Amino acid sequence: MSQFKAGTILDVGSKYGSPVPSMPHFCLNSTSKAQRKFDVSKLQSPEVVACYQLDLRNRFAVLSPDPDEDTPEKLWSDLKQNISSAAAKVLGHKRKKKKKDFLSEETLSVVEVKRKARLEGNLTEWRRLNAKRNKLLRKDKQRWLDNLAEEAEIAARRGDQGSLYRTLKTLAGKSTPPTASVKAMDGTITDTPEQQLARWREHFQSLLNRLSSEVVKAIGKLKPCRAAGADDITPELLLHGGPTVAGQLKQLFTVNEVIPEYWLLGVILPFWKKGPKDVCSNYRGITLLSVPGKVFANVILARLRPLLIRKQRKEQSGFTPGRSTVDRILTLRLLAEKRREFRKPLYAAYVDLKQAFDSVDRPALWMILKILGVPAKLLNLLSLLYSNTSSCVRVNGLLSDSFNINSGVRQGCVLAPTVFNTAIDHVMGKTVHQCDCGASFGDVTITDLDYADDVAILAEAMEVLQLALQAMDSETQPLGLMVSWEKTKVQSLCDYETPQPGPVINTHQVEVVDRFCYLGGTTTSDCRSDSDTHLRIGRATAAMASLDNIWSNRKLSLLTKLRLYNSLVLSILMYGSKSWTLTATQELRLDAFDTRCQRRLLGIRWYDLVSNTTLRDITKQPPLTSMIRSARLRLFGHIARADPPSSQPPC
């Protein structure tokens, strides 16, 4: 079977009943169907954009406004139909690109002659031609890879990052496997597409249960090259729609307080993570929402976010401008190092919440927002956007029946992170108020470090930490949240003291660990950075090896390879490096990894006797440890310039 078609096969089976007894059973396979998409790449041309906007204006000009009949559903239906019709007329649909012939004419002719030699029984000639065919196949593959590399290089010079990374993905041999046939709850294989859709629906149903300028700004926040929702309207169709689309959306937003049904429907795409492909729990669901609905959510967010940011606890960094995961990692490590320096105990509890984003109680969330002072009009629009929400599952181009979702914030909604933070802030505020938790350094006391639902509670004694965990357990339940005590861990950041048993919460004993990966950074009881640097080097090595086809390709320039190395490899290695306390040995290990990778980029072997100084002169890359020091200085400047200083965590 062709390797190019093998990736599209979903299921394979055999069929009895061959007309010839000696023949094997027929092999049946089903392949995935591609969904038709508008060719939005044409919108890069100003002439096409002008034609698209003119067609939209003409279509909406024909419609006569009627206040009695202009219901939200009718306005939405007209908007969706006109955008889709204009896009189909001006842009058309994407055509499946015919793949360039991988095999040359010379190879095909040799294959044909080899086939005849086999039929004639000429074994010697067949072996000779088989060796020749293999040699030609290697040449054809190399030519195909070289052509891909030339396309990537042209895209890099043109600044077309999308084409560059798509071509490099093909060049590196990476592909997304199709969704396979899955097992039912009782373990039996689902045979038909209808049974598979019903199984996916069952799985995710159990898993989830100032206007004009504001609209223009909200449309501008949409990101191109994103998938459409159930209405098939992509961000590009709104971004290039001009004043006509903005005006129609404004009219739709201001008609009563009714949300179009399409905006409440999400389309779930299952993506395989790991493990057997016929088990639903081994897939991660990604929800696609209506793009016009996202514009409406952006308008609400622009009004809601300033108020909630002012009310947000300083311990919370999740989805907050000017904050990042590195702030939390650095604060924890600095506090642990300073307290260890003065031999003061420090304990941290890393709390894990079960499916926090999907299980938070919506009425309780609206009550918290009301207490925080969110205007009634804004709160009503927000609750309407989350009322009667539903989802369906798309598998291989087919849609399942929809099912209702009554809890949690919506995946893919721009409002979800900001709104969810208020729930965690409410829980943590009441938790620290009930117990005297926290660790002090000088005049500063830090009670907890949060990044959305990744919570680390700090205390100076294990008994206090137990009280804090008990308080958090009681405070999460009214919001529909539940602590996973199996995944919650306690760490003693003072390795010089006698280890203590973990606290017991509701008959569950919390495990005490020596090391923990908090927000991607490994924290150890001895407050050293060895474990984290080893982990980062290992992951960067794996990323380097996965792109081996790119590094060995001679058609790509050194500049392009270095750009990819910095963005795809060093970005993995340097995550959290601003918080590292490096020894001389660790610095040598990091620089050695960097030079080893650069030699791979240049194709330099050990016997070429090229010094590191010569290597740096060729690549013009500073040493990795120098880049880490520069990153630390940038973070220091960011913290020093913070306005007001109290808004930043002490670090």
- Residue 268's SS3 state is strand
d(CA 402, CA 392): 4
Strand 448-451 vs strand 504-505: parallel, antiparallel, or unpaired? unpaired
Long-range contacts of 243-248 (CB under 8 A, 24+ apart): 244/53, 244/56, 244/57, 244/60, 245/56, 245/79, 245/83, 245/219, 246/212, 246/215, 246/216, 246/219, 247/212, 248/60, 248/75, 248/78, 248/79
d(CA 300, CA 257): 13
Strand pairing partners for 537?
Answer: none
The pLDDT value recorded for residue 18 is: 39
Q: Which residue, chain included where needed, has tokens 């890393």?
A: 350
The pLDDT value recorded for residue 212 is: 54
Torsion of CA 328, 329, 332, 337, to 10 degrees: -150
Query: With contact defined as beta carbons under 8 Å apart, do 455 and 518 qualify?
Result: no
d(CA 255, CA 293): 15
Domain ranges of the chain: 1-31, 324-361+408-527, 530-640
Token couple for 201: 């629906």
User: Phi and psi (nearest 5°) for 349?
Assistant: -115, 120
- Report the CATH number of the 324-361+408-527 domain: 3.30.70.270
* Model-wide pTM > 0.75: no
Tell me the average confidence (pLDDT) per consecutive run of 10 residues in the chain, 651 residues long.
48 46 47 66 81 82 65 76 83 67 81 88 88 87 76 71 68 62 72 75 63 67 74 76 74 69 86 81 85 86 89 88 87 91 91 88 91 88 87 86 87 89 92 88 89 92 91 91 91 77 86 91 89 93 88 83 87 90 93 94 87 91 94 88 54 43
- Residue 457's SS3 state is strand
Long-range contacts of 493-500 (CB under 8 A, 24+ apart): 493/336, 493/339, 493/340, 493/346, 493/347, 493/348, 493/523, 493/525, 493/527, 494/339, 494/340, 494/343, 494/344, 494/345, 494/346, 494/525, 495/525, 495/526, 496/340, 496/343, 497/345, 500/462
